[in-house]
Structure 1
Amino acid sequence: MPPGGGFLNLLKPPGMTSHDVISLARRILREKKIGHAGTLDPAAAGVLPVAVGQATRLIEYLEQADKSYRVEMKFGFSTDSGDDTGRILSSVSSFTMPSKEEIRNVLNRFTGSIRQTPPAYSAIKIQGKRACDLIRQGREVKLPSRTVNIYRLALLSWTPERILLDVDCSKGTYIRSLCQDIGQALDLPAVMTFLVRRRVGDFRLEDALSLEELAQQKGKALLAPASLLSHLARYDLAPSRERAFCNGLRTHDALYVPVTDLLRVYAADRFIGIGRYDRSSREIVPVKVIQR
């Protein structure tokens, strides 16, 4: 295994928690320092970005990446969890399914910047404890709404009870909440019945490894961290400033035009860490240094 560790693109199967996947990866790689970005519900499947070794220091930057999902919605009932595993809150015995045109019109209303309230059954922490754990303890949980961005919302298929959607969205988007909100806009209770995460930034479903494949490849499956952080702009530092950056010193660059404030910083074509562009002082500020 490379001394600096790396990333894994793992395929989480339905029926396992994200923590279960990490526990197995630890045993397979014989490495304690492993973490994941973006928790998937136990019933969901798909891409689970995993960081190993020193690369765990970069997990927070993976979580900022945009995501893509394929989701199935069923109409006719709603639950406290937003999916079909929860306690039923309301139901209708019969209803007329909206037409494809009506559904597409509603989907258009959910494209762009929207306000969304995360489901109470979530991993969001309240005073250090996960909201879902608090609910299981019998405590009432109210989460504030947030702004998220839906870049694409495409209707793939339609049946008299269900629809299948593709969703491209920003970090922090809860697909269960999106399904509930779409149902409300159509005047029908709705739940999420199936979810596959197809992409997290540069991590794509078609490249994801099963746990069986990881057991075969072991450390050979590790990917270079910098190659999977393309949602952060690249900044090439003058080689003469590498030591200064690694020692936490700023580098002035009045000519740089930032695309993103957080940067992948390179020196002599080698990834050395994460920087931040300070627009007021026009300096590259070291945030995290990644040793070779």
Structure 2
Amino acid sequence: MINGIINVYKEKGYTSHDVVARLRGILHQKKIGHTGTLDPDAEGVLPVCLGKGTKLCGLLTDKRKTYEAVLHLGLDTDTQDISGVVKRECEVRVSQEEVRACMESFVGEQMQIPPMYSALKVKGKKLYELAREGIEVERQPRPVTFYEIRILSMELPFVRFSVTCSKGTYIRTLCHDIGEKLGCMGCMESLLRTRVDRFDIQDSLKLSAIEEKKIQGKLEEAIVSVEEMFADYPAFYAAETFTKMLKNGNAIPAEKPEHTGRVRMYTETGIFVGLYEWQEVKGQYKPVTIFSSPEDFHSAGALQKTT
């Protein structure tokens, strides 16, 4: 089984689920999960977790993301993007300076109302399913953060911009809200995700390229290991007496530890166990997420006997 994360370039027309399904066929393994939905019309970075890496799906979903989008002023659609039905057309009389000032006003913490055409659930039913039935329900605004909004080019009614934002943010809703604030309405013309945490679009691979690497036996080059994902955390090597406790997923006592936050936990022999966090009151490292399995300890033991 392949374990880790692969930086996939999701092409237009694919759903995130489609990407996972294709990868299962290419890699011949079932344990695969994506790290956050991209609309079928959107393109760009989609980190996909493999094997033990699937435990990272939630962690990566929470990370900040960067997009390049095109705002189309003067159009209001039911989906808030260009693929939807046009509800209104407005004349665009705003100046570039007004557009710039308006977009800059969205930087920081905001309250955003999720669109009806989204996968959020209300009473067990997805919003887009209700929308397709012609049903609109009240949605509660949710806090989101725009860390940076940078205009790349402007030829009204089109504005191409880059935005870095928090999890749960809808860029098409941002486009809609900008247009509404300007008084001329707006929708999203296109969307390209350029970064998710450490995963950049320059390093992403289309499914065809991944398949080619698999055929050539070079797939490992494209896999980021689970251990690498925690490279910013210090390493802690537990004494041999605690190996059984680590194998069973228990907390590890420690006296005057050098690192008192989160650490990469290893056995004395160097088996990567997982992410642990120091608990001052109990004087121990408590597991946050464990990535090792009993097989890792057995194989390590066998290796030691033969060396």
Aligned 8 A contact 2:230 2:264 in 1: no
Q: What's 1:266 paired with?
A: 265
Kindly name which structure, 1 or 2, has the bigger radius of gyration based on alpha carbons: 2
Q: What is the count of residue pairs matched by the alignment?
A: 282
1:70-85 matches, cutoff 5 A: 70-85=68-83
**What is the distance in 1 between the residues matched to 2:140 and 2:247?**
39
Deviations 1:23-69 (A, max 9, x none): 11111111111110110000000001111122212211111111000
Cα drift, residue 234 of structure 1: 1.5
Q: In structure 1, how many angstroms separate the alpha carbons of the residues matched to 2:251 and 2:138?
A: 42
**What is the CA-CA distance between 1:159 and the residue it aligns to?**
0.5
Match of 2:140 in 1: 144
Distance between the aligned counterparts of 2:271 and 2:149, measured in 1?
A: 38
Distance 1:243 1:167, change over 3 A: farther
Q: Which residue of structure 1 lines up, in the alignment, with residue 300 of structure 2?
A: none
3-state SS, counterpart of residue 178 of structure 2: helix
The reply to whether residue 161 of structure 1 matches residue 161 of structure 2 is no
Match of 1:97 among 94, 107, 120: 94
Matched-pair contact (CA < 8 Å) for 1:55–1:225 = yes
TM-score normalised per structure 1: 0.87
Aligned to 1:236: 235
Question: Structure 1, residues 64-102: CA drift from partner, whole Å, max 9, x if none?
Answer: 11100000000111111110111222221x331322x22
What is aligned with 1:111? 107
Q: CA deviation at 1:167?
A: 0.5
Matches of 1:97 and 1:121, distance apart in 2: 28
Residues 260 and 278 of structure 2 are in contact (CA less than 8 Å); yes or no, is this contact kept in structure 1?
no
Higher helix share: 2
Give ranges in structure 1 of 5+ residues lacking alignment: none
1:62 and 2:65 are equivalent in the alignment: no
**Secondary structure, counterpart of 2:286 in structure 1:** strand
Deviation at 1:289, TM superposition (A): 1.2
1:15/1:246 CA distance change after superposition, 3 Å: same
1:222 corresponds in structure 2 to 223
Provide the residue aligned with 1:133 in structure 2.
129
Is this contact kept in 2: 1:98–1:186, CA < 8 A? no
- Residue identity over aligned pairs, in percent, reads 34
Relative to the length of structure 2, the TM-score reads 0.83
Partner Cα distance (1:139, 1:198) in 2 = 34
Deviations 1:238-292 (A, max 9, x none): 422554344232345676554xxxx462326654223355576565321321124
Cα distance in 1, alignment partners of residues 59 and 32 from structure 2 = 15
CA contact (8 A) 1:249 1:285 kept: yes
